[in-house]
Structure 1
Amino acid sequence: MPGFTVDSDADVEMTVPQSIFELIRAPELRSWEHGALIEWHREWERYVEKIRHRCGITNVTIESVVTTVKSSVRPKTLWNMATYVLKKPLSAVTDTDILEAVLARCRTLKNEFVPDVTSLFGQKLEMDLSIDDCDAQIFRYYEDFNGIVEDNGLQGLIGTGNDSDAGYKSRLKARCRLLVDGLQPPVLKAQITRLIDLEKRNCKSDDLALFDLILEHAKVQQRFHRMSQDYAKRGDSKSEQNHCAENTAKPPPAEPTRSSPPAASPPPAPIRTARPSRPPPQDRCLVCKGPHWLKDLW
């Protein structure tokens, strides 16, 4: 008796569902340019993490599945790296040699030029005030900050690695200062600056404590802002209701009806009529005895 069953199409019925995986391809290193190395290293770490997760499901050792670093480099780039950077024969180059060389270049400044980090972060770092979720807003702010650090090779100046290094605390002080300088809105920045100077002095050199402090006061100010908006809306609605009530209570002006009598007009001024001329006196003028009155002589 076979240990499996078949369906009507003579296909074997699987008792356990088969896992379906997507193809995971290792990123290829094609350039020694600073930005390209940073991007390749990010993609390589994601690739290794995906392979490690899949091996945990299938119980397969990662060494037998993951692609080697050496085979992920373009042949022309690999030969130049071995000759001019590692100064080794190509056959003697190992995965560790390549990764160490890539990491060393990613974590150092391009052309060993120290940029004006204050201007750099002032131009590229901006808090997204359109996000009304404070947890997501501060998380995004720190995420953007760390991305700028990695893209410009500033780990040696304001990075969080190598906590045993002598300049570790100085790096964190510069890091926290830049984080505070980029805060928005200005009222949040002013509040955090006062707290760091007078009360929370440990936040000057501890970006983790600074994260919690910024998040705490960002939530307080966001709540106050929302309450102010709600209060303003209620005030506007009340004033509008009062205005409507006043317009409703005020009687409209009475319109004149056709049946109402017309207003009496003032009486016309009397018209003076000229006096009729008197007939000449019967006794004639007293001076000349003519047919007229005496006053008509002058």
Structure 2
Amino acid sequence: MTTPQPIFEFIRAPQLTVWSQAALIQFKRDRAQYEKKIEARCAVTNENKANVLVSIKASVETIVLDHLAHADIEAGIERKCGTILNSHVPDVMGMFKEWFNMDLHVQDIEARVSKYFVDFGRLVKEKGFIGVLGNNEGGQAPDRQKMKLRCRIMVENLSPTVLQVDVK
């Protein structure tokens, strides 16, 4: 009697090869996914997560690492991801009109609204608008001006326009 062979997935740690905002945002996203996969693997195999995870230092290419202090890597990633590229404040309203729309194909209203908020948070992180619009995570007290701007963007991008008028 033969038994099927187990299938193992090789989980590779993401590599940081360039110190740019786009590369850092991608690295941060990939690193979070990598850590979740390792955590799930360790839950099944009873391995120690600290022994299995590749350190952030080992994930950075040596040429890039030569120019950075080890202690500043994670803080630098957070700082750079949370600022606007080259300290230039773009037309945030115009960008969100282009990228952010309510999905009217979702029939369930609660699911549609939930997806709307999730999509907004994802866009803020992906486009590096955390410095301008703030972040709703971590239990910190939100900046009043940033919250006003967040709400204004979300209301102006509501569909259909009748809903926009009702919310205002």
Instruction: Using structure 1 for the length normalisation, give the TM-score.
Output: 0.51
Alpha-carbon offset, residue 19 of structure 1 = 5.9
The percentage of aligned residue pairs carrying the same residue is 35
One-letter identity of the residue aligned with 2:109? C
More displaced, 137-146 or 48-57? 137-146
**Equivalences for residues 122-201 of structure 1 within 5 A:** 122-159=97-134, 160-161=136-137, 163-164=139-140, 168-193=143-168
Counterpart mapping for 1:4-19 below 5 A: none
1:151-208 C-alpha deviation (Å, 9 max, x unpaired): 222112222246545x623322221221111100011111222xxxxxxxxxxxxxxx
Task: Look up the match of 2:63.
Answer: 76
Structure 2 CA distance for aligned equivalents of residues 169 and 180 of structure 1: 16
Distance 1:46 1:26, change over 3 A: same
Q: Which has the higher contact order (CA 8 A, sep 6+)?
A: 2
Note closer, same or farther for the CA distance 1:161–1:120 as it changes in structure 2 (3 Å cut). same
**Contact persistence 1:110–1:152 (CA under 8 A):** no
Match of 1:54 among 34, 37, 41: 41
**1:47, CA displacement in angstroms?**
0.4
The alpha-carbon deviation at position 126 of structure 1 amounts to: 1.3
Deviation, structure 1 residue 144: 2.3
Q: Which has the higher helix share?
A: 2
Q: 1:285 corresponds to which residue?
A: none
Q: Which runs of 5+ in 1 are unaligned?
A: 1-6, 87-92, 194-298
Contact 1:158-1:174 at 8 Å conserved across structures: yes
2:120 maps to amino acid: F
Summarize deviations over 1:106-152 as a string: whole Å, max 9, x none: 11111111222222211221122233333332233223212221122
Q: What is the alpha-carbon distance in structure 2 between the residues aligned to residue 140 and residue 162 of structure 1?
A: 20
Q: How many residues align?
A: 167
Give the structure 1 partner of residue 22 of structure 2.
35
Whether contact under 8 Å (1:125, 1:182) holds in the other structure is yes
TM-score (norm 2): 0.86
State the secondary structure of the residue aligned to 1:100.
helix
Query: Cα–Cα, structure 1 residues 164 and 140, in superposed 2: closer, same or farther, change >3 Å?
Result: closer
Distance 1:137 1:112, change over 3 A: same
Unaligned segments of structure 2, at least 5 residues = none
Instruction: Supply the distance in 1 between the matched residues of 2:76 and 2:167 (Cα, whole angstroms).
Output: 40
